Amino acid sequence: MTGAPRIEVLDDAAACSDAAAHAIAQALVAAVDRHGRADWATTGGSTPVGIYQVLASAPHRDEVPWQQVHVWWGDDRYVPRDHPLSNVLPLDQVLLSASARAGLSGSGADAADIELGLEPGLWLPPAHVHAPQMTRAIADGSGLDAAVAAYDAELRADGPPVGEAGVPAFDVVLLGIGPDGHVLSVFPGSPLLDDTEAWVAAVPAPTHIEPHVPRLSLTPRILAAAVSVVVVVHGAGKAAILASVLGPERDERRWPAQLARRENATWFLDRAAAAELPTLPG
Ligand code: 6PG
């Protein structure tokens, strides 16, 4: 029995980003209060960008004890960290403004932001930003399996405590939902749905969905172990898949995002994405 998630339907994508940023900030503050650090597994795609902008602004930039926060990724693509497809790049660019901090001009946007008087990004201890080591694996030719092994080892050495089902219990997991109903890089029919051992796995390039690049993914068992899960879905393009994922038929093999229909989860939807939901499900 996984229980029912909390579902909030908000006006638009900006409102979803505000609400999700607030939920993440609350979870991080509560975790630091409880045990002196917070472990956040974030996501890729376009969903986190607006959330990072809100988190990097007042009040969250000042209220969250960022130096105690550890960031991990639920999944990443097998591309270098500064590649447009990287799931790490949005965090580097938007939450941390890494290029501005390094004194680089980057695209020019960061420098213009500073001239406009906008605040630079947050500072987290570099050792707390646990990005999968894709750049190194590509550069030295060791390959995706080496990146998977390194990420697994890093989680075991410096990750959150092990919780339910023998997997790390993150304080907060942020998820977007793919157009096929995937979460993390757990695609429909994925062998990860049956794997009861691995924490991290290599995922071959999907052929049914872009981008067609191999991935690294955490096991979906982290969703049950997490203190809290935040799911964000916005835009009319997600309305049809959301109607299936939150619909009456349960089939997690077909729609892995249903694994996030659990009582430790809050789903933030905008009206456009929620448009085809007949009734809000339990
Ligand atoms: C990935 C992403 C993926 C993403 C969803 C939603 O590597 O494929 O992590 O799981 O979160 O596809 O994508 P959008 O946020 O762009 O809608």
At 22-62, the pLDDT tens digits run 999 999 999 999 999 999 999 998 999 999 999 998 899 99
pLDDT at position 105 over 50:
no
Q: Indicate whether residue 50 lines ligand 1 (CB < 6 A).
A: no
Q: How far is the CA of 73 from the centre of ligand 1 (A)?
A: 12
pLDDT at position 119 over 80:
no
pLDDT of residue 103: 53
pLDDT of residue 123: 85
CA angle 179, 49, 147 (to 5 degrees): 75
Q: How far is the CA of 114 from the centre of ligand 1 (A)?
A: 30
Q: Where is average pLDDT lowest: 78-82, 101-105, 196-200?
A: 101-105
pLDDT of residue 100: 55
Ligand 1: which atom is nearest the Cα of residue 48? 15
pLDDT at position 235 over 80:
yes
- Give residue 122's pLDDT band: very low, low, confident or very high (50, 70, 90): confident
Q: Indicate whether residue 93 lines ligand 1 (CB < 6 A).
A: no
Q: How far is the CA of 113 from the centre of ligand 1 (A)?
A: 27
- Give residue 281's pLDDT band: very low, low, confident or very high (50, 70, 90): low
pLDDT at position 106 over 50:
no
Q: Indicate whether residue 178 lines ligand 1 (CB < 6 A).
A: yes
- Give residue 2's pLDDT band: very low, low, confident or very high (50, 70, 90): confident
Q: How far is the CA of 25 from the centre of ligand 1 (A)?
A: 21
Instruction: Report pTM.
Output: 0.93
Residue whose structure tokens are 């892995």: 256
Ligand 1: which atom is nearest the Cα of residue 76? 7
Substitution candidate for ligand 1 out of 72, 75, 184 with most atoms within 8 A of CB: 75
Q: Indicate whether residue 68 lines ligand 1 (CB < 6 A).
A: no
73-95: b (≥16 Cβ within 10 Å) or e? bbbbbbbbbeeeebbbbbbbbbb
Q: How far apart are CA 144 and CA 96, in angstroms?
A: 26
Question: 16 CB contacts (<8 Å, ≥6 apart)?
Answer: 10, 50, 232, 233, 234, 268, 269, 270
Q: Name the burial class of residue 111, with classes exposed (0-12), middle (13-18) and buried (19+) by CB atoms within 10 angstroms of its CB.
A: middle
Q: What is the pLDDT of residues 64-80, one digit of tens each?
A: 999 999 999 999 999 99
